[in-house]
Homo-oligomer: A and B are copies of this chain.
Amino acid sequence: MKLLIADETIDYDGSQIGSLWAYTRFRLQDDSIVCFRGKCNVTPDHMIDLEDRVMDEKIESPDMIHFIVEHFDMTSLKLAYARQRLLAAIAAEVFKDRGIIVKRSGDDLFYDGGKLSISIASASPVSHKIHFGINVRCDEYMSLEKMGITDPEAIMAVIGERYSAEYDDIEMSLRKSRPLGVYL
């Protein structure tokens, strides 16, 4: 799959979770993970998690690193969510490699009890997508700044590379596994 690190700032308003954003914005015609930095301010129209809508949650942050994943191989929600959790786990591993212990709980990351991230996944008839965002600065919640991390874009790039490499490795692995028999 294709990894793209955006040169420019992009503010996440929820429209980027729409299918084919990576094509429309960057002409990507691959499965892709696009990484960028920018504000977060999701309008209710773009809320995918109905819980947020029902609860009238605000989803906003003045500065985040964002990951937009799009896969076209199957439109299954089950696959979308398994991959979302894997992306969250990879992000936590990247912090661990720097000696920083971030706790993953489902699709959320926590540091020192404070929520560091937001995420959603879903499907359209043509693709499934994941948004994952980590606060760079944030008053209300935990942020990289509060954690003393001063190179958010380096973190961003490593998470993007790891997810992309993980996907490619999976695609290789499943092409050397024979079918299962049945235990009788």
Contact = CB atoms under 8 A, between A and B. Distances in A.
Interface of A: 15-21, 23-25, 28-31, 48-51, 53-54, 72-83, 85-86, 89-90, 92-93, 96-97, 101, 103-104, 106-107, 120-129, 166, 169-184
A33 B178 CA distance: 19
Integer count of this chain's copies in the complex: 6
B170 A29 contact: no
A50 B124 contact: no
Given A77-B72, A79-B78, A181 B50 contact: no
Given A75-B125, A78-B74, A125-B123, A20 B178 contact: yes
Given A16-B183, A183-B16, A29 B176 contact: yes
